[in-house]
Amino acid sequence: MHREHEELMRSEFFEQAQLARTQAHTHSDYQYERLAAARATYDDRWLSGPHAEEWAFLSASYEDWQRDPKSMARLMDNLDAIHAHHGQVFGVTEVRRRSLAQARDLVTIDHTRAPAEHEHGIEWGR
């Protein structure tokens, strides 16, 4: 994956995650459906393109961090230790290591923001 494609993927995944946070706090059925449709456009575009596997991995990582952050933190600690010792993690690309980190960071944002911040779409520091 070229760097510019990865940067676009990360930016658009962040945007999709912002929509999900907003969607989770909406009280309007119309707004909820509109946000769901907007989120689906990202999946449709990325999952039908040449980087579908990377988008799917990032999406799955995000879901895994939401579902079981303790296990994912242990995984990241292990990957970081292997990377520090060997300079790489065999079987996990650098793109995927960054995807795991982005997913972790997004879930951290999800858990630390106040509801009002969700609605105002504060930018994630990259």
Is 126 a domain residue? no
Q: What is the pLDDT of residues 31-55, one digit of tens each?
A: 999 999 999 999 999 999 999 999 9
Kindly indicate the confidence band of residue 123, based on its pLDDT and cuts at 50, 70 and 90: very low
Length of the chain in residues, anyone? 126
Query: Residue for token digits 């509801």?
Result: 115
Is 125 a domain residue? no
Strand partners, 92: 89
Q: What is the pLDDT of residues 60-113, one digit of tens each?
A: 999 999 999 999 999 999 999 998 888 888 889 999 999 999 999 999 887 776
Is 94 a domain residue? yes
Q: Based on the structure, what is the number of domains in the chain? A: 1
**Domain hosting residue 50, numbered range:** 3-120
Whether 114 has a pLDDT exceeding 50, the answer reads no
pLDDT of residue 124: 41
Q: Sign of dihedral through CA atoms 124, 17, 24, 59?
A: negative
Name the pTM for this structure: 0.83
